Homo-oligomer: A and B are copies of this chain.
């Protein structure tokens, strides 16, 4: 494998000069440049990223932590990130945590051993304080996930407002008994969606019935089970809002099992615009997040922190708009 020294010898110059040509520095004679370029070509030389980065004290690597890559929400986020990273000369290290705390910390520690320049967290299962010791080693940016305060830059949506938008839509269709099946409420996103649900009800003076609020683990089975429970109530709901589409699939399956027709007898809405949502019958009303944009923006934010220093970065909290897709599952039949 040829090194810079081989190129220098062949071209009859010093390795300093080769380095200059390589990095497009000024003050190189045109003749010299040509000789060097020819030597590079002839040897099929590629500079070693490793050596370069050791010298420059940077890795051009970004660790992205995701709980679960099979979830289209996270894979789309990654697609958005990858696009921008490549453009800017960064590479992405895929870190799947499986929502396990130790695994998460293990990856965060890569910052300490300088394996990566920075970290993007799409979720955080450890307490926020556990990040503090690592922040000195490089920037950390949230996307999707966020925390109160703005000690850590984040890219996200307004979950409260988005959930409220769905509930208002169901209210407008005449529903008064609207159930909410949430994901795990130790997750801030779920807490905020719940807040949005309450807010929408309260804003028009509807009572908030604890019986109608359920919590599951973000799975289809969870949605199925919670729906069954809801229909054991004396006064069951006429509409169900699920905190994500995976749950909503379980909701629709359970309703079908109960012999209840969607949307005629019960309306359903989800969240995420998962590809599922147009496969299931009836097609699911849902909220779309601009996942590609969010991923892209997160990488841009991280690179900005790297370039100008975290503390100088403004807009520490970037919010994106969401969009409600009204489909069959919440469409009134004429």
Q: Within 8 Å CB of A50, what residues of B?
A: 50, 53-54, 59, 114-115
Q: Which of B1, B75, B95, B113 contacts A114 (CB 8 A)?
A: B1
Say whether A151 faces chain B, with CB atoms less than 8 Å apart. Answer: no
Q: Smallest CB–CB gap between A327 and chain B, Å? A: 14
A76: CB under 8 A from chain B?
yes
Given A79-B96, A94-B78, A279-B249, are A115 and B70 also a contact pair (CB < 8 Å)? no
Taking a contact as CB atoms under 8 Å apart, the answer to whether A82 and B96 are in contact is yes
A70-91 contacts to B (CB < 8 Å)? 70, 72, 75-76, 78-79, 82, 86, 91
- Shortest distance from the beta carbon of A81 to any chain B beta carbon, whole Å: 9
- A selection of 22 A-B contacts at a CB cut-off of 8 Å is A44-B112, A46-B109, A46-B113, A46-B114, A48-B54, A48-B113, A49-B115, A50-B59, A50-B115, A51-B54, A69-B75, A69-B78, A79-B96, A82-B94, A91-B115, A92-B93, A92-B94, A93-B93, A249-B279, A275-B276, A276-B279, A279-B280
Residue A41 is within 8 A (CB to CB) of chain B in the complex: no
- A279-300 interface with B by 8 A CB criterion: 279-281
Expressed in whole angstroms, the minimum distance between the Cβ of A245 and any Cβ of chain B is: 10
The count of residues in chain A whose C-beta lies closer than 8 Å to any C-beta of chain B is: 41
Q: Is the CB of B113 within 8 A of A47?
A: yes
A136 to B, closest residue via Cβ = B1
How far, in Å, is A167 (CB) from chain B's closest CB?
24
**What does the 1/0 interface line of A22-36 toward B look like (CB < 8 Å)?**
000000000000000
A325 at interface, CB cutoff 8 A: no
| List of B residues within 8 angstroms of A91 by Cβ | 93, 115
Most B C-beta atoms less than 10 A away, residue of A46, A95, A112:
A46
User: Do A70 and B59 touch (CB < 8 A)?
Assistant: no
A94 contact set on B, CB distance < 8 A? 64, 78, 82, 92-94
